[in-house]
Structure 1
């Protein structure tokens, strides 16, 4: 019997668990380490999500600077963290108990903008009028 092709394969429980372990460890490392990159000094970093590859060798980390909602600020942060990725990977290897420490790839997180946009749409008086029950 032929297998049905999966349109969008969901991450496994193992990938989700590894992503959360990495997210917590990275948030801890970024909060206590003094990174020497001038683009990272004085910035509070939010690690929104970590998505691991099925073999757990790569991790896409979605980051955003707290208080800076511009695309340029987010991209500048992601580029600076990418430059610091080998250092962060070394620190991460001491924090987590995994067979391999994944290769880190930092991506600017735009999900907060999307959530703000949806909140604005729902707060629109025309939408509120349609949502009210008679």
Structure 2
């Protein structure tokens, strides 16, 4: 039972909370949209932390453009964010931050639309069968 919540998972959760605060209050770049830190995955040797984000576009930007701009800003600010994390989180070695766009929400939205389309098609074919009888 002691292995259910490993050290890397606890560190990832702490980094996620701290990064969300830092990005919201400390990164002052106008190109940055509304960023949500959805998941952090820390390597076993604590060398790297893959930070997965979602972006809500601001100022009438296209979603793809907002994602690219936000990832550029965050990857450029990775050194600053890592330094701030060193001050706030007590670790012997702070992992290097790598930012990625989290595509799971978009994938879920796509699957939801496919399921709804299949249900509509099923209902239409069922109503046609009932009308023919």
Q: Structure 2 length as normaliser, TM-score?
A: 0.75
Whose helix fraction is larger, Structure 1's or Structure 2's?
Answer: 2
RMSD: 2.3
Whichever of the two has the greater Rg, that structure is: 2
Of the three residues 40, 47, 56, the one matched with 1:50 is 40
* Displacement of 1:67: 4.3
**Contiguous gaps of at least 5 residues in structure 1:** 1-11, 130-134
Return closer, same or farther for 1:103/1:122 CA change in 2, 3 Å cut-off: same
Q: Structure 1 length as normaliser, TM-score?
A: 0.75
Q: Contact 2:49 / 2:98 at 8 angstroms: preserved in 1?
A: yes
Q: Contact 1:19 / 1:52 at 8 angstroms: preserved in 2?
A: yes
CA deviation string 1:89-116 (max 9, x = no partner): 1111112122211101111221111011
The count of residues paired between Structure 1 and Structure 2 equals 116
- Look up the SS of the partner of 1:90 in the other structure: helix
Instruction: Please give the residue correspondences for 1:82-101 in structure 2 after superposition, counting only pairs within 5 Å.
Output: 82-101=75-94
> Are residues 1:66 and 2:61 paired?
no
**Contiguous gaps of at least 5 residues in structure 2:** 125-133
